[in-house]
Structure formats: structure tokens, C-alpha cells
Structure 1
Amino acid sequence: MLVAGLGDTGVLTAIHLARHVDVVGISAKPALVSGQELGRRLAHPDDWARDYRIGFDRFRGLDRIRTVHGSMTGVDLDERAVSVVLADGSSGIEPYDALVISTGVTNGFWRRPTLQSTAEVDSGLRAAHDRLASAGSVAVLGGGAAAVSTAANLAAAEPGRTIDLYYPGERALPAHHRRTWSRVERRLRSLGVGLHPGHRAVVPEGFSCDRITDSAVEWSTGQSPAHADAVVWAIGRVRPNTEWLPAELLDDDGFVRVGPDLSVPDRPGVFAVGDVAATDPLRGSARNRADRLLARNVRAHLAGRPLRRYRPRSRRWGSVLGAQADGLEVFTPSGHGVRFPLWSVERILQPWIVQRAIYGGVRRPSAALVTDPQVSDRARPARRDA
């Protein structure tokens, strides 16, 4: 069983599968480097890394998995094998009986498929934080959760600094319920964030929105250019990380075509989940625990049993701003907020709900196992069902 991509969804899928079959996971990063909570990542990188940058050897559920640190360069669907360039520059082939594609998307400087070492991941986190911390004024472009979270967390980290949020619609968070934006809007105003609806940025030709800039921002909607010491481009120009896949697996936008059961049509044994999978307009299988359903469907496929359908949600939900000084607010699909006090996030939600119940146990950093940085073979063999 091969899991291609060990981001948020890939790790969870691999953990579920490893209880039943042999699993190999391939990752361009040496650890889980989550795409969640961009605002916390930029404003408080050390706090963010504690919960969202986790070595694979710390996950108890990955003990029976062989992890490969490398980038996928191609797949032979007939021979059932994936080509990989390893971290040391050598090449390898990973065969599979079933393949799960969970390589995610590229979205700005914080979500890229670049093959990185531990030092490169760490320096990237610190460089983005330091760049924004030294800026007297910051313009955040975009109306999604990443942009909103960035503006709020930067404003909360250094009150009095000039933080402006520019978004193209009449409101931000258009994929969330209107009630969610109403509550978040009040929070942004209380933090002193300048809100600028109806602003659509002109993206310079050849610019991929993957770095923090300081040039004036021009608007296709007619407003005067905006100036700031630092500009964060979070405008939602996602690109699926599917360059290594043949065109027959992809839709017109480059996402992996899947049926209602998350399997790829006409390719038995190939599945996709997460942001890379064309499940619905919101690509919600990355956020609605479809990892558990997918793992069940992979096992059903291998055993010749019927597969279950994934039912996407019509709205985004969950946390928008991440943990704040007064706690964590999680929004339901109907837009109602449920607040958890900060002590419960630190003592109950993260250690017991997330790390133990969802991930199946996460070791403390001091108890991390020493593994080879390129390929780590776990001591306990998995039961081989496929």
C-alpha cells in the first residue's frame, strides 16, 4: 500500500491503513509540516511548530510504516510503480498494490511541494516570521481563511501596527456561512485591522504569489495602489501537486478525478484524497475526516467488498483564527461559534483529542526515535494483507 504525500490528510490515511496492511509513505518533507493555521505560523512560529510540525517518528501510528523522504517524478499505472528522487539525489522505484494520492496543492510560500531538509524547513518558517515582524505595515491580500487568519494573528501579536486586509468580495470567507464572517469581522475590527472589501489585486505577469513582497499593489477594481512594508499574497491561487501524474488521471484544472467513493475512474486500486482530489468545488475531503472513509474503502477494494460514498459539505467550517489569548473558536457549518478556553486547548484538545484520539498517540520530542533521514524502516513488521 503506497501513500503518496504525507501532509495532514496523508498522515491520517496512512495511520488508519497501517493497522491492517503494509504501508509505504512518500514525503518531500522530513516531517509533517501542516498547511493549517497560517496566521499562527507567521505570528508565533514556535507555538505553531509545537502542534503542526511533527516528526514522523513521533507518531505512534506510523511505527509500522516505512517512510521515504523524496519527490515523486512519475507513475507507471500498468506496472503499479512510482518513481522517486530521494533526498540524497539518487533515484528509486516504489511498487504498490494500491495507491493513495494525497500530494495536496501549492498555495503561496507556505504550501509548496519542494523537497526540503529539516534545516530548510526550519529556516523557511523563521524567515517568513522575521520578515513580517520587522515590517511596520503589512497588507494581506485574499478573502479566505488563510488571509483572514494572517491579518488577525499579526495584529494580535503586535497591537498598534498597521495591518490591512484586502479582499475582492463584499465580505471575506465566502465559502463559510455568513454568520461566521460576521463574528470574525467584529474580531478583526477590534484588533484594529483595516478592512477593504471590493479590492481585487492585479497579479504581475509571471508572479506565483509564493513570496512576501514590498512593491505597491495595484487593483483591477479601480482603486489607488496600496503600499506596505510587506505584502502577503493569500489570494487562493492553488495549484495541485500533480506534475508527476499522467493527464488521464486529471481534470481540466489538474486535480485528480475521483468518483463518489474517492477512487480514480477506470484505474482500480488508485485513490485520491485531500486538496488534490476533485471531490467537490470546495475539495472538502481534506477537512471532513474523509481519511478514515478512504482507508476503509482501500481495504474494501483489496478484499473485494463494496466501497462507501463520500458526502461533501456545502460550506467550510472549523477554526478560522486558531488559538488566541482568549481561547479557540470553532465554527459549525451553520456559522455558530463554539469557544474553548485556552487552558482546555492546551491540556485537553491538543494532547487528548488531537494527538491521542485522532492521531493515535504522539510522542514528546525528547522521546523521538532516531531514524535514517532518507528512509526509515520501523522495527515492528506490519501484517501483510496486500
Structure 2
Amino acid sequence: MREILIVGGGYAGFYTAWGLEKAVRAGEARVTVVDPRPYMTYQPFLPEVTAGSVEARHAAVSLRRHLRRTRLVAGSVTEIRHKDRAVTVRPADGAAYELRYDILVVTAGAVTRTFPVPGVAERAIGLKHVEEAVAIRDRLLTAFDQAASLPPGPARRKLLTVTFVGGGFSGVEGFGELLSLATAMLKYYPELGPEDLSFHLVEARDRILPEVSDGPGEWVVRSLERRGARVHLDTQLVSAVDGHVVLSDGEEFDSELIVWTAGNASNPVVHNHTDLPVDERGLLVVRPDLRVGTASEPLPDVWAAGDDAAVPDLALPIPGARTVPNAQHAVRQGKRLAKNIAADLRGRRIRDYRHGSLGVVATLGLGRGIFQYRRLVIKGLPAWLMHRGYHVLAVPTWERKIRVLSVWLTAAVFGRDLVSLASVQHPREAFVTSADTRPAPLSGAHHGRE
């Protein structure tokens, strides 16, 4: 059997492995997926996880449950040496080791792009993984409980000040959903009012949501500001030391919660630790058929897709255009990859990847959204319903679709759950505290049976 090794179990990797399980015959090849997490994160649901509209576990698709004929390796690939047909895997515990392959698929996924801004590494939190979305929600809920017991003043103001850095889809959706949650929570806290909330969205460019045209983007800014938020365009974060935010426009304020969503960078293993060809952005050079290499010189038995692959966009009439790194492309590239690899194993024709955009849709909070397809723009509740409808259809497996729908229906009747479980981030704290305060045993006391 030929060994097919998939680096990364995100969108593209999961759908490639899932497709290969259906396309590859028994005994024809063995598929292995290497990823440090045991699940694929459905990232479009993360903003709704921050708002409690989607349960955290429902935004994660178990690899072992759905990839039953695939070998799963828990670890991170730290080096790719195609000349040796080998990768280096670093597990969570233990020494690194080597895995060999016959066919390599690189779908490692991007990482959060950061800049050396003082205080960011110590104070900020990202919005790329389920754990981060849960932590953001719990921190806001905890801040409400703490602020309600304080008199008006700087301490209360800091607790209820939220800052998002980055105005792409992830940042705007997370910002809008968290603003919606905070506004809805005020009715349960009579001690607090709208004037206590302070939400800031910071974007270095002169506009947000680059995937939509100028008019809809400006409408989103006006919509957020009507809801009491501040949108800082052409502005950079200068410092966040101890939660004290300093912006390049001269404004300063204290913020308890700082969320960093300022874009993605190529995975370090692709950018720095591989002998595969990469372009000036650190992305793998990929042909339209998803083979790694150039049109004239494809590398044998190496394929790539997703955020770390510079895949030519054949649906655009622009020379040199590349597919944008979003879920819409990653899912379809993974499906095409599986079909092409299976065809190549049998000496059959492989096909180029081509997908025309279905448009872009974003949630801006409960009942609010924006959709654009070419010149067609839909705003408000209809766009929000389109967002939910599209993503419940797009999330893989019927089991996940039903679970998400059940939560939405329950929330429609009873409202969102507003309980903070921030203590789960320190599960032993209560036990250690009780152990430290336990009275000392009496002198000369005996223990056990006599």
C-alpha cells in the first residue's frame, strides 16, 4: 500500500481525508493525518460561540468519529524533507520522531499574524480556535459580574471595555456578536447601563471587510456605531501594556478584554522548515490541479490546498489571481484533492480546481448581517438568516447540523445561556484552595484502623 500523509486536519485536510476514505479502495493506500488537535474547527461558527449562540463542542468536528479508516497522529509537523520523503513530528509529550510517506498533502493551515506591539503577547487573545472563543465569552460574562459590584468609575469602565484589533471577517463578526451579547445582558444587570459599555474596533486600513465593496463596508461601520461602538479606521494599536490601550490616533483607554484578529500568516513549517517551493509570501507554489510546483515542473507526489497554498484562481479573468484563503475554497479544494489523488493512483486524468465565489455573508450580531454577491447587497435580518442557513448546510456531517439547529431553536425560545464557566480554565483552583485552608491535624492523632 502507498502511504498518503496529510499535514493538518483543518478544512482542507479533513475534507481530503474524508474524500479519500470514499474514493480509495481497500488495500490501495493508507491515509494518515497529523494534527495536534483531535478535531476540525468550523471557524465560521467561532463568532457565535463567543456570543453563546453556538455551543463550543458543536463548532468542532471530531476527527476520530468521522475519519474511521484514517490513521490519526496527535502532534505537530515541524519539518518537511521531500527529498527524503519524510516529515518530523513533535508530539505533545515525548521526543520528536520521523514519519515517512509516498504521497504528501500539505494542508497545515495558517497561523495568527502578530506584530511586536508591547503588551499584546501578555494581554491579547486570538479568535482562531474554539478554546479562544470560549475564553472570550467567559471573560466578558465574568467582567459583567465583577463590574456590577463596583461603583461607577475607572475600574468598572475598564472591565466593560472591549477592544478588537483587526477589521477582517473574523474581527468584525466576533466584534458584532460580542456587542450583541453585551447589550442583551444589560437587562439582567440593573446596576449597569449602556453608558458603561465601551466597544472599540481598530483597523489599520481605511475600511473594514475588504471582501465586500466600499458601500456595504461603510454601512457596516455606521451600523456598529449606531449600536454604540467606536470604529477606528486608519489606526494602529501602539501599546497594550497592562491593558492600557494606546492608539496611533492619540486616543488612550483601559481595556480588560483585547482580542487580536489582525489577519493570518503562513504556517512556520511551510514558510521556514521545508524544501518545497514557496513564493514571496511564504505560501506553497501550487498548480491549478493542486500539485505543488510550477506549470512546467510539478513535484512528484506532493499536493497542497488551503491557507498555505497559492492556488491559481481560474474563475477570475485576472492573470496571476490566487484563491482567497477562506472556508469556501478550502472545503472545495479538499474535495478536489481527494478526487485527484485517487485518479492519479490509478493513472487517470486529474482535473484543475475551479470555483466561482458564492458571495460573502457575515453576521453582525443576533438578527443582523450583511450579504454581497457581485452587485447584489442584502442587509439586516434577511442577511443574518442567510448566514445561518448557509453555515448550517456547510458544517460537515448531519450530526453537527442537527446539534447546531437544536441550540438555535432552544435559544429562540429561552434566550442565550449567560452562565460563565471561566473557572474551567483553572480546574484545580477550588480544590487547592480548600486543601490549603484545611485545619491541621491534632498533635498525636492516629490515622487508620487500630
Fold similarity call, TM over 0.5: yes
One-letter amino acid of the counterpart of residue 394, structure 2: V
Alpha carbons of structure 1 residues 329 and 187: separation in structure 2 relative to 1, 3 Å: same
One-letter amino acid of the counterpart of residue 146, structure 1: S
Contact 2:23 2:339 in 1 (8 A): no
Matched, 1:19 2:62: no
Gaps of 5+ in 2: 25-29, 114-124, 144-158, 184-193, 312-320, 404-450
Matched residue SS, 1:264: strand
Contact 2:46 2:59 in 1 (8 A): no
Structure-1 residue corresponding to 2:164: 140
Structure-1 residue corresponding to 2:41: 33
For normalisation by structure 2, the TM-score amounts to 0.65
Matched, 1:354 2:394: yes
Q: CA deviation at 1:194?
A: 1.6
Gaps of 5+ in 1: 113-120, 205-211, 366-386
Alpha carbons of structure 1 residues 218 and 342: separation in structure 2 relative to 1, 3 Å: closer
Alignment of 1:183-262 (within 5 A): 183-202=219-238, 214-219=243-248, 222-242=249-269, 245-262=273-290
1: CA distance, partners of 2:99 / 2:300: 18
Alpha carbons of structure 1 residues 325 and 173: separation in structure 2 relative to 1, 3 Å: closer
Q: CA deviation at 1:191?
A: 2.8
Matched residue SS, 1:320: strand
Identity of aligned pairs, percent?
25
Q: CA deviation at 1:296?
A: 2.0
Q: 2:60 aligns with which of 34, 53, 60?
A: 53
1: CA distance, partners of 2:41 / 2:391: 20
Structure-2 residue corresponding to 1:153: 177
Name the count of aligned residue pairs.
338
One-letter amino acid of the counterpart of residue 52, structure 1: A
Structure-2 residue corresponding to 1:278: 310
RMSD: 3.5
Contact 2:126 2:259 in 1 (8 A): no
1: CA distance, partners of 2:71 / 2:238: 45
1: CA distance, partners of 2:387 / 2:110: 32
Between 250-259 and 296-305, report the one with greater CA deviation. Answer: 296-305
CA displacement, residues 114-136 of structure 1 (integer Å, 9 cap, x when unaligned) = xxxxxxx8765543333344231
Larger Rg: 2
1: CA distance, partners of 2:135 / 2:79: 32
2: CA distance, partners of 1:344 / 1:336: 13
Alpha carbons of structure 1 residues 37 and 360: separation in structure 2 relative to 1, 3 Å: closer
Q: CA deviation at 1:295?
A: 1.9
Contact 1:32 1:55 in 2 (8 A): yes
2: CA distance, partners of 1:79 / 1:360: 40
Greater RCO between the two (CA within 8 Å, min separation 6)? Answer: 1
Q: 2:335 aligns with which of 261, 271, 292?
A: 292
Alpha carbons of structure 1 residues 50 and 318: separation in structure 2 relative to 1, 3 Å: farther
Q: CA deviation at 1:5?
A: 0.3
Alignment of 1:73-222 (within 5 A): 73-107=78-112, 109-110=125-126, 124-133=132-141, 134=143, 135-159=159-183, 160=194, 161-202=197-238, 214-219=243-248, 222=249
2: CA distance, partners of 1:360 / 1:258: 32
Q: CA deviation at 1:198?
A: 2.0
2: CA distance, partners of 1:247 / 1:111: 31
Alpha carbons of structure 1 residues 325 and 147: separation in structure 2 relative to 1, 3 Å: closer
Matched residue SS, 2:61: strand
Matched residue SS, 1:130: helix
